[in-house]
Amino acid sequence: MKTIHLAFIFLLLTACGLPKQFPRTPEDLERKRKDSHAFCRTPPCMALVTHSTLDVPYIDAAQKNHVRYAKKYNLDYEFRNNLISDFAHGQFIDDRAAKKVFQLGLYWQKLIAVKDALNKKDNDHHRYDWVWWIDSDAIFTNFSISPSDIIKTYGKNIDFIASKDPFTALNSGVFLVRNNESSRQMINDIINLYPYYKNEALPEQSAMSDYVLGFVYKNHFGDFLFTPEVDRNYARPPMNKIAIISQRAINSFYRGGLSSLAWGPQVVWEPGDFIAHFAAVKEDKNEAMRNLLKCFEEKCGQQYENDSACLEQCS
């Protein structure tokens, strides 16, 4: 499953600075209650979900940006932090993992957050029609694009929307999932691929990519089967009801880092793009994100979400 591209990108991430080993701390439920918001009063609704850890320095800035977008379009915003799934769930904890960043399975926590949102019910009915994941190092940079715009453009007869990625079939930093039985099964299946992908350079992203391309499937006993590497065609279209769209449509890489290795205008963020993803900027990620958000407020006012045309002045 490992490729030269993935090995190279892992070296890049190491050079740019992987997160330090996080304390084995359960989720702070008090902070979750305080920092999550229910702007949708009458379901069915959409949830915007993110996960981070308490010691990520830019999370407060990103979170405030997320809340602006959620409030503008009446989305529920679910903020999760620290370990959502711990030993009690029998998931993700592996002290023997090759890299410290994988020992707590931090990248897989997003899938638990999405699963929990998909399963949330009001009066025996699922609260959310769609669950929208956004990484904690991604922010909204064009507020004129609504969730309905995305779904109308890319989501007709589609259950899962994600963007392309330079190194795998898709990027798991931003994706939307329609809430139905098949989507919930898909998320469960990808979670259960953890033992097979936990030491990959981009673990949950590689699992998700292989799954949507049909390289991972289950037999009638429910066991996972894997297409041999030599038989894989990575140019093939994804499975039915899966949309892999242009990266800049929902998930532009902010300049530097990953984007410097990518293919220019298809990937790299430009003013006016919907979302800027600070996947691995060359400069300090916290400083880069805060500088862009500071420009938004200085040029476009404290309620910058109401003037997306103005935001294009910031680069």
What angle do the packed helices 181-192 and 203-212 form, to 10 degrees? 130
CA-nearest of 134, 171, 176, 140 to 155 is 176
pLDDT value of position 260: 66
pLDDT digits (tens, 9 = 90+) for 18-64: 444 456 688 999 999 999 999 999 999 999 999 987 778 999 999 99
Cis bond leading into 23, ω under 30°?
A: no
Phi and psi, residue 57, nearest 5° = -70, -20
SS3 content of the chain, % helix, strand, coil (to 5): 40, 20, 40
- Residues 53, 106 contacting (CB under 8 angstroms): yes
Q: Which residues of 4-32 are buried (b: 16+ CB within 10 A; e: fewer)?
A: eebeebbebbeebeeeeebeeeebeeeee
Phi and psi, residue 299, nearest 5° = -85, -30
pLDDT digits (tens, 9 = 90+) for 119-159: 999 999 999 999 999 999 999 999 999 999 999 999 989 99
pLDDT over 70 (residue 12): no
pLDDT value of position 259: 60
Phi and psi, residue 127, nearest 5° = -70, -35
CA distance 214 to 301: 47
What SS3 state is found at 256? coil
Residue given tokens 């892992």 in the structure block: 10
Phi and psi, residue 237, nearest 5° = -70, 160
**What are the angstrom distances between the C-alpha of 131 and each of 27, 50, 63, 311?**
20, 11, 17, 26
Question: Model pTM?
Answer: 0.90
**What are the angstrom distances between the C-alpha of 116 and each of 121, 161, 198?**
10, 19, 21
- Residues 46, 151 contacting (CB under 8 angstroms): no
CA distance 23 to 253: 29
Residue given tokens 């299946």 in the structure block: 189
Helical segments of the chain, H only: 4-16, 29-35, 59-72, 100-103, 109-119, 147-154, 181-192, 194-197, 203-212, 247-250, 258-261, 285-300, 308-311
CA distance 192 to 127: 24
Q: Is the dihedral of CA 86, 121, 113, 92 positive or negative?
A: positive
Local structure of residue 96 (DSSP, 8 states): T
> Which residue ranges form the domains of the chain, and what is each CATH number?
23-248 (3.90.550.10)
pLDDT digits (tens, 9 = 90+) for 204-261: 999 999 999 999 999 999 999 999 999 999 989 999 999 999 999 999 999 866 666 6
pLDDT digits (tens, 9 = 90+) for 149-200: 999 999 989 999 999 998 899 999 999 999 999 999 999 999 999 999 988 8
